[in-house]
Amino acid sequence: MDRFFKQSDIFPSQLWREVGSINKESNQVFELFRGHFGGGGVSSLTERPLNYFTLLRDPYALSVSTFQFIKREKNTLAHDVVSQDDFDLEAFVTDSKTCHLINNRMVRNLSFDFIEDPSAQEVFLSEETITSLKPLLAESQKALSPEQRYQRAISFIDNCVWFGLVEHFDRSMDMLCHYFKTPSLGKSQKLNTKPIALDISEKAHRRIEILNAWDIKLYRYATAVFEKRYQDMLHDLESFRSHPSQHIDDLLDKQYQQHQKYPKRTAYELTFDKKMVGSQWHRRELLAEDGSYFRWTGPEAVSTVDLWVKPSDCRLQMRVINALSPEDLDMMELSINGKQVEWSSDAEGVVRLVTANVPKSHIKPNGLARVKISLPKTQSHQEAFQSDDERLVGVAVHWLKFMT
């Protein structure tokens, strides 16, 4: 989500315990609130009208994943209990100390807010946040019934401008791009997952079913809504089709280009604190030495980023601040709208200012300059730099600019 918003427009906290004192007036400047706030929680942070996004997962898979996550993560509250050798999935879903951790998690999360359903989920607040929320907490009503929570979750799904399903992640991303009117983001890398095949006993399966009766019902409803919304998207994209064999990526790209204004500038600089349009880029990261931002390319070896400039003969400059190796960087290829350009640099290491001449003919008449960065390979950051970061990365880019 961060690529669709400027860094300064994103609320910095992602957990309630990080929020501190709430100042709704100051929070008016933020356009994106992301994190574990519960379905209605963000309405306590800002007076702005809100559009909601969320992601759902099959309740059986979510239950198994929760067990595996707690078993391997030492900082989770139930880790000491779950890490016992004889504590298997069946024990996890039947033990009174742990079974609540998989009890209708999605319905409870989506129904939550501080007035209507404050007890729907466990919320860890800082002292400053508690002080700010006291007026709301004083108005809290009695706990809702499971049926009422389910109806609130259904209403939340119906009112979301976008929601996705983990089991249909690529199609979900297509719908996200359709909403934001951007090209396809390309394949994503699944991180923080260490799946271990488990033999799920009949008793454990039945217990998961009982504990997640409302979540299962919600997921079944959401799946039907998702399929309807996906078909509606395909129907909408048909207006951009020019021949039968076009892929959905082509149609999303046509929609995107049609909604761009013709650029008046002949020079442009993209720094990664800004919004960006492109595929195969990881999250923005802070460069501590000067407070600026950069992004690694990846997980695939070919990345693109779109710059919009008035067509003219110009130069492309790109500052690279890291790479898998100088040799990999030497083999990098650059192209603009599919036309290769030769680049040069005075440096030889992994930190370089790359420059390439770009003829006017390489830039589309509508002003699109799609920069493609092709590398010989990507590799996990963990393997390349002995870190704990599993992302497949190529080069770290600080900024790009077109100059006349």
* pLDDT tens readout for residues 266-286: 999 999 999 999 999 999 999
Same domain, 159 and 280: no
* pLDDT average, residue stretch 204-218: 97
Is 188 contained in some domain?
A: yes
Q: In 3D, which of 24, 28, 17 has the Cα closest to residue 45?
A: 24
Q: Give dist(CA 368, CA 310) in Å, integer.
A: 8
pLDDT band at 167 (very low <50, low <70, confident <90, very high): very high
Is 308 contained in some domain?
A: yes
Same domain, 224 and 312: no
Whole-number pLDDT of residue 137: 74
Cα–Cα separations (whole angstroms), residue 197 to 40, 64, 68, 346, 369 = 35, 10, 10, 51, 46
Whole-number pLDDT of residue 73: 83
Using a pLDDT cut of 90, give the percent of the chain over it. 80
Q: Domain span at residue 38?
A: 2-234
Is 256 contained in some domain?
A: no
Residues with Cβ within 8 Å of residue 347, at least 6 apart in sequence: 353
CATH classification of the domain holding 176: 3.40.50
Same domain, 146 and 199: yes
pLDDT surpassing 70 at residue 144:
yes
Same domain, 205 and 339: no
Is 254 contained in some domain?
A: no
Q: In 3D, which of 277, 178, 169, 168 has the Cα closest to residue 237?
A: 178
Same domain, 36 and 184: yes
* pLDDT tens readout for residues 332-370: 999 999 999 999 999 999 999 999 999 999 999 999 999
Phi, psi of 402 (to 5 degrees): -105, 135
Same domain, 217 and 299: no
